[in-house]
């Protein structure tokens, strides 16, 4: 046991140290993880003879669960909404077209049987979300025409479709009857959708009901939810990866107290998952077998990257008004990685009788993709004039925070407010704050000291960013119809003397309440406890 723990620790440390310097030498970290795995492997320095595909499948499938959940959790719906139709088309129809074209050309060029051609095409049909996220973030590569969120959503959501195609390909290779495939497709899609949505809303209800956020158990709780989201649909032949991804999207775009911390937590888990995925890929590889797989892998990689993927992307994006430059960049950004590895190991673990060495073919395709496409993606974006230098790609993620010491707050002046009919210089503004704008009857006013405040005005205040100290504690309370505070005025609440209602968030409005303010359904009430 101690030896295994020592081995795991050494692997992680070596991968982290090598990954730390990957950006300095211009080599993607994932490529280094693969090379390290080969160095540990049977033909490497340590000569570890490891070929347990069943154990590898269990490890890799678990790792992919968290990669998928993190991919959904990071999607910022506000940034995704303008490109959601294109992204979904690319992640569904695009994957199917890519697999179909690759399958057809493998059959014609390499003379591989139709069932095996379909299986190979299915395994490599999806792009790798973790690799795309890593490159965009590490290079701060913001792209024009909302291409960054388009790539993020497509790469994060196309793995379930590739998994479904892989299951169909396995059924074809194993000689399953034609009547079983339609039900397989139905179960994969319907059960995956229902389980993902249902589990996510159940998790939200449970978190708010039991105040899990307040107990600092939210990270552990969401690990369990991610595992459940995969396991439950898998019991009934549903698509567990689709379920996990949907659950991640719903939870990531809900009001969670520690969302930024949660994103960083799952980012760390995903990083560890990638290390083990690509290390295992290298460990399972036998370099002396690679020469036999080089030719078919190279042919399939050329078919995939220069014919199938570009054709699928152009067929979907060009009718939507996308430029050829955007289509070429989206096509070039179709990196192969974690999902393809897992699906290849899954096929081998199932004992499918194949003519070609699927694992080493996928190994080489992933190697080509990570080494060439991953390294050249920033260069390709610049050459295609698709880099947006005026924006920050981090804004498309859920953990983004403005690096500023100030924030804006809106105050609505109602009739009877103690600021009504008074000049700006006469009212007591919050400490170190400034009235920067007044919205009045559809007009925007830049206030001066002698500007009079009228009923119906919305005053925009520039206030210092709050940095929590040890002497106070802020808590957000979501108000639903069953809450005791719903439809009550502040003055009617029975709360301890050391607690104060400091702010109410109502849709896109921030309210500084007084005793007459009524709390409504769907309000977020901020409580300060001294």
pLDDT tens, residue by residue, 86-138: 988 999 999 999 999 999 999 999 888 888 999 999 999 988 766 676 677 66
Q: Residue 396 has what pLDDT?
A: 56
Residue in 145, 487, 483 with CA at minimum distance from that of residue 328: 145
- Residue 114 has phi, psi (to 5 degrees) of -60, -45
> Which stretch of DSSP H or E encloses residue 411?
strand 406-412
pLDDT of residue 246: 92
User: Region 176-194: what's the mean pLDDT?
Assistant: 81
pLDDT for residue 430: 67
Q: How large is the greatest C-alpha to C-alpha distance in the chain, in angstroms?
A: 85
CATH code of 403-462, in short, is 3.30.70.1450
> Is pLDDT above 80 for 215?
no
Residue 366 CB neighbours (<10 A): 28
> Same CATH fold, 468-530 and 403-462?
yes
The model's pTM: 0.69
Query: What is the per-residue pLDDT across 321-347, written as a single tens digit (0 to 9) for each?
Result: 889 999 999 999 888 877 888 888 888
Phi–psi pair at 108, nearest 5 degrees: -80, -40
Specify the pLDDT at position 96.
94
User: Other CB atoms closer than 10 Å to residue 525's CB: what's the count?
Assistant: 22
Instruction: Give me the pLDDT at residue 319, please.
Output: 92
pLDDT attached to residue 130: 65
Domain ranges of the chain: 28-44+51-387, 403-462, 468-530
**Which of 71-80, 195-204, 477-486 shows the lowest mean pLDDT across its residues?**
71-80
What mean pLDDT do residues 74-86 have? 79
Average pLDDT, integer, range 36-43: 83
> Percent of the chain at pLDDT above 70?
87
Q: Looking at 21-30, 189-198, 224-233, 361-370, which range is the least confident one?
A: 21-30
364, burial (CB in 10 Å: exposed 0-12, middle 13-18, buried 19+): buried
Reported for 225-228, long-range contacts at CB under 8 A and 24+ positions apart, including other chains, are 225/199, 225/200, 225/251, 226/65, 226/66, 226/69, 227/65, 228/199
Domain 28-44+51-387 matching CATH 1.20.1530.20: the answer reads yes
Split at pLDDT 50, 70, 90, the class of 230 is very high
* Percent of all residues in the chain with a pLDDT value above 90, rounded to a whole number: 19
CATH class of 468-530: alpha beta
pLDDT band at 406 (very low <50, low <70, confident <90, very high): low
Q: What is the mean pLDDT of the chain?
A: 82
CB-based contact 526:497 (threshold 8 Å):
no
């Amino acid at each position: 046991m101690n030896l295994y723990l020592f081995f795991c620790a050494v692997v992680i440390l070596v991968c982290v140290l090598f990954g730390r310097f990957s950006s300095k030498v211009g080599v993607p970290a994932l490529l280094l993880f693969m090379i390290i795995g080969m160095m540990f492997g049977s033909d490497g320095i340590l000569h570890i003879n490891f070929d347990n595909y069943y154990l590898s499948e269990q490890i890799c499938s678990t790792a992919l669960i968290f990669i998928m959940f993190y991919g959904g959790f990071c999607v910022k719906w506000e940034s995704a909404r303008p490109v959601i139709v294109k992204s979904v088309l690319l992640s569904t129809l695009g994957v199917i077209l890519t697999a179909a074209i690759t399958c057809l050309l493998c059959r014609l060029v390499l003379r591989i049987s139709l069932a095996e051609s379909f299986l190979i095409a299915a395994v490599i049909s999806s792009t790798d979300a973790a690799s795309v996220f890593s490159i965009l973030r590490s290079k701060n590569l913001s792209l024009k025409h909302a291409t960054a969120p388009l790539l993020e959503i497509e790469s994060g959501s196309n793995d379930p479709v590739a998994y479904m195609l892989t299951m169909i390909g396995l059924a074809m290779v194993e000689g399953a009857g034609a009547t079983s495939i339609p039900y397989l497709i139905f179960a994969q899609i319907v059960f995956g959708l229902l389980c993902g949505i249902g589990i996510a809303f159940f998790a939200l209800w449970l978190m708010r009901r039991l105040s899990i956020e307040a107990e600092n158990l939210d990270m552990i709780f969401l690990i369990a939810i991610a595992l459940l989201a995969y396991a439950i649909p898998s019991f009934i032949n549903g698509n567990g990866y689709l379920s996990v991804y949907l659950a991640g999207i719903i939870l990531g775009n809900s009001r969670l107290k520690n969302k930024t911390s949660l994103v960083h937590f799952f980012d760390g888990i995903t990083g560890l998952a990638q290390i083990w995925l690509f290390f295992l890929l290298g460990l399972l590889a036998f370099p002396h077998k690679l020469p036999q797989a080089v030719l078919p892998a190279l042919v399939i990689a050329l078919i995939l990257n220069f014919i199938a993927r570009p054709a699928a992307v152009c067929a979907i994006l060009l009718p939507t008004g996308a430029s050829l430059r955007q289509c070429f960049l989206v096509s070039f950004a179709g990196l192969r990685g974690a999902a393809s590895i897992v699906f290849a190991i899954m096929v081998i673990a199932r004992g499918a009788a194949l003519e070609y060495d699927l694992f080493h073919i996928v190994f080489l395709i992933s190697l080509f993709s990570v080494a060439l496409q991953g390294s050249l993606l920033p260069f390709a974006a610049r050459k295609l004039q698709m880099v947006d230098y005026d924006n920050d790609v981090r804004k498309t993620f859920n953990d983004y925070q403005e690096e500023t010491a100030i924030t804006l707050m809106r105050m609505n002046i109602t009739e009877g407010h103690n600021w009504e009919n008074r000049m700006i210089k006469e009212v007591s503004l919050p400490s170190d704050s400034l009235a920067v704008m007044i919205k009045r009857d559809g007009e925007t006013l830049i206030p001066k000291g002698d500007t009079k405040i009228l009923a119906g005005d919305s005053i925009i205040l520039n206030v210092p960013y709050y940095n929590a100290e040890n002497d106070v504690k802020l808590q957000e309370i979501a108000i639903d119809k069953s809450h005791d505070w719903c439809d009550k005025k502040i003055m009617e609440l029975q709360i301890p003397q050391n607690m104060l209602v400091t702010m109410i968030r109502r849709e896109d409005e921030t309210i500084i309440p007084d005793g007459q303010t009524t709390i409504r359904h769907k309000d977020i009430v901020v409580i300060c406890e001294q």
